[in-house]
Chain A
């Protein structure tokens, strides 16, 4: 069975400092991995996805993630946090049996302080 574990339920950073949101996955097959962001009272938005091409994936709003098979990790990073980055972030793995079933982690709430 596939699963994802987000290692931090809450992360707090100061504006202008780096962001690191950690995610480990478990998969019997070559996984497809995603990061989604959820702002309050808004729908989930795709930040980036890994689909077995380049291991370093660049997404929207300056975010990127690196797929490390040896560590079964897919951590999300951003060099400099902005106030508008405050939101809930979900690491997601796609069920490789097909039909595009997404399995979500529990989420990490990112707070950005001035």
Chain B
């Protein structure tokens, strides 16, 4: 079974530029998550989709971050404009059943973003 796919793996941009990350979850997984992991910290949830609807985006900086999950499959996370503090690894995860507690989340390899 293929795992969670993410691209690109690495990205370097200058501040005020825009950037987009792509995630393809495990086939059949209803729930998709985007996390931000700053160096030296644990991942922090940015947004959670259940099928193609948002169930939690309370920690998403909506003035610059946006995400969509068209057709309830793959997803794109965008930053526009980027700031220096956005330098981090962006992790995508998916889980099988929507909204169930204790459900195992499967993580992709992440996209490492450096903002100069």
Contacts and interface: CB of A to CB of B under 8 A. Distances in A.
A94 B109 CA distance: 21
A40 to B, nearest CB: 11
Contact of B42 (A43, A46, A106): A106
B99 A98 contact: yes
A101 B91 CA distance: 14
Contact of A94 (B41, B101, B107): B101
Interface residues of A, number: 23
Contacts of A92: 42
B110 A43 contact: yes
Interface string B46-66: 001010000110000000000
> What is the size category of the interface that chain B forms with chain A?
20 to 34
A37 B15 CA distance: 32
Given A44-B43, A107-B41, A101 B102 contact: no
A102 B3 CA distance: 19
Contact of A100 (B40, B43, B99, B108): B99
A99 B48 contact: yes
Contact of B102 (A41, A49, A90, A105): A49
A56 to B, nearest CB: 17
A106 B101 contact: no
B73 to A, nearest CB: 19
B27 interface: no
Contacts of B50: 99
A105 B103 contact: no
B16 interface: no
Nearest to B95: A100
A60 to B, nearest CB: 12
B42 A90 contact: yes
Contacts of A51: 102
A96 B101 contact: yes
Nearest to A91: B42
Contacts of A105: 42
A42 B102 contact: no
B67 interface: no
Interface of B: 3-4, 31, 40-45, 48, 50, 55-56, 91, 93, 95, 99-110
